[in-house]
Chain A
Amino acid sequence: MQKLIRFIEKYSFFFLFLFFEVIAFYLLFQKNHFQRASFLNNSKVVSGEMYNQFSKLTNYLDLREVNEQLAEENRNLHDRQLKSFEKLYGPNVLINDTIYQQQYFYTKARIVNNSTNKQNNYLTLNVGKANGIESGMGVISSNGVVGIIRNVSEHYSTVLSMLHRSTKISVKLKNNNYFGSMQWDGKSYKEGVLMDIPNHVQISKGDTIITSGFSATFPANIPVATIKSFEKPEGENFYNIHLNFTTHFKNISYVYVIKNNWANEQVELEKKTKDENG
Chain B
Amino acid sequence: MGKFILSGIIQFVFLIVIQALVLNNIQFSGYVNPYLYIVFILWLPLSTPKALLLFLAFVLGLTLDVFTNTIGMHTSATVFMAFCRPYVLQTLVPRDGYEINQTPGIKDLGLKWFAAYAAMLTLLHHLFLFFVEVFRFTDFYDTIIRVVYSWVFTMILIFIAQYFRYNAEERR
Number of A-B contacts (CB under 8 A): 84
| B86 A24 Cβ-Cβ under 8 A | no
A115 partner, pick from B24, B76, B86, B134, beta carbons under 8 A: B24
| B76 A21 Cβ-Cβ under 8 A | yes
Q: Is B47 interfacial (CB 8 A cutoff)?
A: no
A169 to chain B, nearest CB (A): 21
Q: Is B99 interfacial (CB 8 A cutoff)?
A: no
The docked-state distance in angstroms from the alpha carbon of A13 to that of B76 is: 16
The docked-state distance in angstroms from the alpha carbon of A194 to that of B87 is: 47
| A117 B27 Cβ-Cβ under 8 A | yes
B71 partner, pick from A40, A115, A118, beta carbons under 8 A: A40
| B133 A16 Cβ-Cβ under 8 A | no
A interface secondary structure, majority: helix
| A119 B66 Cβ-Cβ under 8 A | no
Q: Chain A contacts of B69 at CB under 8 A? A: 122, 124, 158
> B42-59 vs A: 1/0 string, CB under 8 Å?
000000001100110110
> B80-96 vs A: 1/0 string, CB under 8 Å?
10110010000000000
The docked-state distance in angstroms from the alpha carbon of A47 to that of B82 is: 25
Q: Which residue of A lies closest to B17 (CB)?
A: A50
| B30 A188 Cβ-Cβ under 8 A | yes
Q: Chain B contacts of A50 at CB under 8 A? A: 20-21
Q: Is B105 interfacial (CB 8 A cutoff)?
A: no
| A31 B71 Cβ-Cβ under 8 A | yes
Q: Is A7 interfacial (CB 8 A cutoff)?
A: no
The docked-state distance in angstroms from the alpha carbon of A277 to that of B102 is: 73
Q: Is B158 interfacial (CB 8 A cutoff)?
A: no
Q: Chain A contacts of B70 at CB under 8 A? A: 118, 120
How many A residues face the partner with a CB closer than 8 A? 37
Q: Which of B30, B50, B61 has the most CB of A within 10 A?
A: B30
| A47 B66 Cβ-Cβ under 8 A | yes
Q: Is B73 interfacial (CB 8 A cutoff)?
A: yes
Q: Is B154 interfacial (CB 8 A cutoff)?
A: no
The docked-state distance in angstroms from the alpha carbon of A13 to that of B20 is: 30
Q: Chain B contacts of A100 at CB under 8 A? A: none
> A98-120 vs B: 1/0 string, CB under 8 Å?
00000000000000000111111
Q: Chain A contacts of B73 at CB under 8 A? A: 28
| B71 A20 Cβ-Cβ under 8 A | no
The docked-state distance in angstroms from the alpha carbon of A40 to that of B83 is: 25
| A40 B66 Cβ-Cβ under 8 A | yes
Q: Chain B contacts of A16 at CB under 8 A? A: 50-51, 54
| B75 A24 Cβ-Cβ under 8 A | yes
Q: Chain B contacts of A120 at CB under 8 A? A: 70
Q: Chain B contacts of A186 at CB under 8 A? A: 134, 139
A162 to chain B, nearest CB (A): 15
A55 to chain B, nearest CB (A): 10
B58 partner, pick from A24, A29, A115, beta carbons under 8 A: A24
A1 to chain B, nearest CB (A): 24
Q: Which residue of A lies closest to B142 (CB)?
A: A187
> B5-25 vs A: 1/0 string, CB under 8 Å?
000000000000000110010
* Residue ranges of B at the interface with A (Cβ–Cβ < 8 Å): 20-21, 24, 27, 30-31, 33, 50-51, 54-55, 57-58, 61-62, 65-73, 75-76, 79-80, 82-83, 86, 132-134, 139, 142
